[in-house]
């Protein structure tokens, strides 16, 4: 019938849900049945009393969304929800779906205007009349195509999330779906797997939202539930990482015996496939590099995506409401790197000076071996030198910071404040040392200068010798066999990896917990914009 990805998704969904063999078997009966399903999941609203509570469970309803009464437009409804619009696209969509669901029969061959409210990427065009007039009008399609786009716009059986962009008054929050451009058979496999993911793996906590109390009015306000972060397992804290997190969720299904083969088929089909991120009025296209898909097949991608959230930018410190925009930019470039996975996107990723959790090691190994084609032994050797540099920075700050903080607090009775202050001071001091070492690496004009200056500087700070395991990297870099740019990138990237010893530290575990708690608080609700 068509090659348009938005229509194709609805066709594949109908064929999969109703066991149809060909797209010609689609009738109004199946279309109406699927639109009713979408209507039943049009909005989410709190279930039960939430006054005096800290959280409340939500449920799907077929009511029109009304954010003033805490009935929120579901993330699977690809429409606009904006304060002040008398007749937003959500209202038009709801009305049109209700009309079709209340109809017993419909001539699918008739034509009609396709509205942006029903098809988020539709738009008007200019045409010229015989009289020389220039007018605008909507494209015309068949009722069948009109119904198909409404199915894709409303169905809950598609990956979707609320995508945040911008900061302050210019922030936007748009329901966004992620749809692969596959042929019908592969698309049916994708839908079948996603349905299993939703049934088997969706945590009930995704339908739970926080309840906040207005201090002035003492009014309790339920916030959007967690499903707006993504309607698939292990949805990311940052919406910028939504697409790569979806791939990680599919990769996790390869570990499930019942659907392992299906998950592998889906991942294989995604290797040469374009994905579309579609929101109201806009669509963008992206694809996944084969190396990243292989990480997903091995069940390793999820851990990498989770770790990216705990990257700490040197200049910003931990994530908070004050630096949310800076971290949003980092997340965007990190997502772009994971999708495209080439040298330009890696350089953009590396441009953000930061310290990485240890689990990022696998991502770096994969990039340097697969994309830069550097011998695995050299990469391993560079990793050992980088880890040593990170440890040098960690060790050089321990005693110095501990002493200064102790003096400043004067052995205060408040041990918690002392511990927190010491951890913050250590992180700041370590970041300064790492920046110094990176500056020394960046400024090197040759391979031998790179090794000499870096090792000398680190040795003076710590009084330690470089590990013997790093000798191969140092030899190749100093001799010029390893290009200078690659040597610099290897050393900088691996020096940013926090050591296992440091991550296993109890103080660090507590620190991670506080990050999570902090970010629960920094997640704002944009239900009424």
Question: Which pLDDT score is estimated for 414?
Answer: 52
Q: Which residues of the chain have pLDDT under 50?
A: 1, 83-86, 405-413, 506-529
User: CB of 158 within 8 A of CB of 198?
Assistant: no
How many Cα atoms occupy the beta-carbon half-sphere of 213 within 13 Å? 8
Positive or negative, the CA dihedral 37, 108, 80, 85 is negative
Which candidate, 472, 301, 464, places its Cα nearest to that of 380?
472
In this prediction the pTM is: 0.86
Question: How far is the C-alpha of 62 from the C-alpha of 128, rounded, in Å?
Answer: 42
Question: Which pLDDT score is estimated for 485?
Answer: 95
Helices (H) and strands (E) in the chain, counts: 19, 15
* Ramachandran region, residue 218 (left: φ > 0; alpha: ψ -120 to 50; beta: rest): left
Burial of 133 (0-12, 13-18, 19+ CB in 10 A): exposed
Mark out the alpha helices in 155-211 (DSSP H runs). 184-201
Question: How far is the C-alpha of 207 from the C-alpha of 198, rounded, in Å?
Answer: 12
Question: Which pLDDT score is estimated for 127?
Answer: 62
Rg of the chain's alpha carbons, rounded to an integer?
A: 27
Burial of 491 (0-12, 13-18, 19+ CB in 10 A): buried
Phi, psi of 50, rounded to the nearest 5 degrees: -115, 0
Question: Which pLDDT score is estimated for 235?
Answer: 87
In 3-state terms, what secondary structure has residue 436? helix
State the DSSP H helix or E strand holding residue 251, giving kind and residue range, or none if neither: helix 242-252
Do you know the residue count of the chain?
529
Cross-strand pairs, 113: 140
Q: Which residues contact 517 (CB under 8 A, 6 or more apart)?
A: none
Q: Which residues contact 17 (CB under 8 A, 6 or more apart)?
A: 30, 34, 157
Question: How far is the C-alpha of 270 from the C-alpha of 287, rounded, in Å?
Answer: 8
State CA 56 to chain mean position distance: 25
Q: Considering only the C-alpha atoms of the chain, give the largest distance between any 2 of them, rounded to a whole number of Å.
A: 89
Which candidate, 246, 309, 308, places its Cα nearest to that of 277?
246
Query: What 3 state SS string does 8-23 have?
Result: HHHHHHHHHHHCCCCH
């Amino acid at each position: 019938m068509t090659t348009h990805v938005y229509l194709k998704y609805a066709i594949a969904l109908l064929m999969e849900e109703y066991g149809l063999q060909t797209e010609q078997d689609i009738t109004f009966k199946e279309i109406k049945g699927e639109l009713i399903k979408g209507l039943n999941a049009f909005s989410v609203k709190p279930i039960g009393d939430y006054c005096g509570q800290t959280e409340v469970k939500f449920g799907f309803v077929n009511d029109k969304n009304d954010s003033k009464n805490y009935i929120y437009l579901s993330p699977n409804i690809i429409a606009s929800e904006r304060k002040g619009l008398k007749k937003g696209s959500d209202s038009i969509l709801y009305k049109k779906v209700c009309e079709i669901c209340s109809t017993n029969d419909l001539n699918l061959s008739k034509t009609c205007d396709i509205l942006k409210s029903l098809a988020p990427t539709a738009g008007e065009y200019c045409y010229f009349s015989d009289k020389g007039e220039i007018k605008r009008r909507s494209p015309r399609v068949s009722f069948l195509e009109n119904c198909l786009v409404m199915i894709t716009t409303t169905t809950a059986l598609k990956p979707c999330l609320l995508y945040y962009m911008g900061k302050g008054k210019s922030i936007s929050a748009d329901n966004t779906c992620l749809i692969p451009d596959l042929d019908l058979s592969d698309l049916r496999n994708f839908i079948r797997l996603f349905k299993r993911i939703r049934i088997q793996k969706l945590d009930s906590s995704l339908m739970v939202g926080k309840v906040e109390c207005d201090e002035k009015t003492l009014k309790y306000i339920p916030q959007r539930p967690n499903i707006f972060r993504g309607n698939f397992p292990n949805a990311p804290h940052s919406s910028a990482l939504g697409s790569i997190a979806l791939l990680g969720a599919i990769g996790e299904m390869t570990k499930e015996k019942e659907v392992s083969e299906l998950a592998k088929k889906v991942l294989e089909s995604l290797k040469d496939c374009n994905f579309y991120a579609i929101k109201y009025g806009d669509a963008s296209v992206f694809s996944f590099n084969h190396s990243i898909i292989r990480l997903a097949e091995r069940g390793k991608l999820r851990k990498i995506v989770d770790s990216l959230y705990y990257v700490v930018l040197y200049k910003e410190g931990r994530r908070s409401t004050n630096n949310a925009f800076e971290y949003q930019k980092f997340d965007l470039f990190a997502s772009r790197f994971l999708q495209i996975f080439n040298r330009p996107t890696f350089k953009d990723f590396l441009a953000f000076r930061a310290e990485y959790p240890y689990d990022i090691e696998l991502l770096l190994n994969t990039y340097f071996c697969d994309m830069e084609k550097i011998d695995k032994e050299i990469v391993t050797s560079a990793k050992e030198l980088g880890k040593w540099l990170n440890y040098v920075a960690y060790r050089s700050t321990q005693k110095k910071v501990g002493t200064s903080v102790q003096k400043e607090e004067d052995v205060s009775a408040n041990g918690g404040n002392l511990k927190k202050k010491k951890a913050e001071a250590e992180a700041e001091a370590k970041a300064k040392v790492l920046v110094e070492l990176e500056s020394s690496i960046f400024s090197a004009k040759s391979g031998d200068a790179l090794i000499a200056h870096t090792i000398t500087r680190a040795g003076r700070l710590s009084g330690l010798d470089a590990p013997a395991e790093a000798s191969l990297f140092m030899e190749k870099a100093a001799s010029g066999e390893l290009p200078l740019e690659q040597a610099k990138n290897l050393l900088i990237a691996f020096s940013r990896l926090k050591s296992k010893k440091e991550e296993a530290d109890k103080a660090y575990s507590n620190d991670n917990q506080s990050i999570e708690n902090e970010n629960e608080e920094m997640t704002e609700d944009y239900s009424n914009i």
